[in-house]
Structure 1
């Protein structure tokens, strides 16, 4: 009887360990990708037209994607990975200057993983260190695309379809 109880106890412990291990991700295991979308010529032309109209001549194109950015402050040497949580302050607006979203330094936004953000952010946030400041000029296909971002209950758009998005962002903290 004692042998049976011992075997049963060992089996329960092994089962508990196996069940406990299921679904756990090694925090170093990250298979997310930043993306490789390339904006159409028409989308890139919209971004360039805006940059030229604002006199922004010192800019960098992101790997031939049609997205442009300006790093105003590089920040420190610490860099975020795609599966890293970050805290940022930002202002997002359209080419006409209308602000559609913002998070201030007094009330910043924390995102659990960069990999869950729009492609334009996924591809540029890892370029900054903590304290870094960037301006991003994102064509629609690296933002919210032809669908935009719509409230499913009201039908109102948070982000308009086919919109070029401009973000001014400060990377406050890399969390982890």
Structure 2
């Protein structure tokens, strides 16, 4: 083999080694993301949006409509970072049925509940990132962004807590 071919092979080996090193370095710099959740693209139907718009208007509630169809009122914005779909969150909350106001769930007293945002109903996933720790928000959620056609029952008694296709109101404080 001539010296020209040896130089060419040597140069190709160097280039190959350099490319392999660059690829290895780039791969090692990639942020490891173990979050199994993705943002939902689901949104409320026109009928659900109209129902909630009429409800907040009839009850003189000042609320903003999120692009998903959740209506919300920010009581206190809070401070710090906004939660993301993969965030662990601590909160106090109270859930009631619209329009009756019947309470179906709440954190007792000053207790808090901890969840991963991506595990919660879509209405919460969409609206809770609008506030930060210490923030308070009131949510008005249509059935398609809550539990849909699924009934939610008390695990101890079997009594229906949330009827199928219910509109829900949540008062939430991130702590």
**Interval containing the TM-score (normalised by the shorter chain):** 0.7 to 0.9
The 8 Å contact of residues 46 and 164 in structure 1, kept in 2 or not, is answered as no
Cα drift, residue 104 of structure 1 = 4.2
SS of the residue corresponding to residue 123 of structure 2 reads helix
Unpaired runs of at least 5, structure 1: 1-25
Unpaired runs of at least 5, structure 2: 1-30
Distance 1:28 1:117, change over 3 A: same
Q: Could you list the per-position Cα deviations for residues 17-60 of structure 1 after superposition, in whole angstroms to 9, with x for gaps in the alignment?
A: xxxxxxxxx8743242231212122222221222112101x322
1:110: which partner in 2?
114
The 8 Å contact of residues 70 and 127 in structure 2, kept in 1 or not, is answered as no
Structure 2 length-normalised TM: 0.74
Q: Could you list the per-position Cα deviations for residues 62-106 of structure 1 after superposition, in whole angstroms to 9, with x for gaps in the alignment?
A: 11x221111111100312121211110111101211111111451
1:62: which partner in 2?
66
Structure 1 length-normalised TM: 0.74
Give the structure with higher Rg (CA). Answer: 2
SS of the residue corresponding to residue 50 of structure 2 reads helix
Map 1:1-176 onto structure 2 (within 5 A): 28-56=33-61, 58-63=62-67, 65-95=68-98, 96-104=100-108, 106-111=110-115, 113-150=116-153, 155-172=158-175
1:12: which partner in 2?
none
SS of the residue corresponding to residue 110 of structure 2 reads coil
The 8 Å contact of residues 97 and 162 in structure 2, kept in 1 or not, is answered as no
Matched residue count: 144
CA RMSD across the alignment: 2.0
Larger helix proportion of the pair: 2
SS of the residue corresponding to residue 127 of structure 2 reads helix
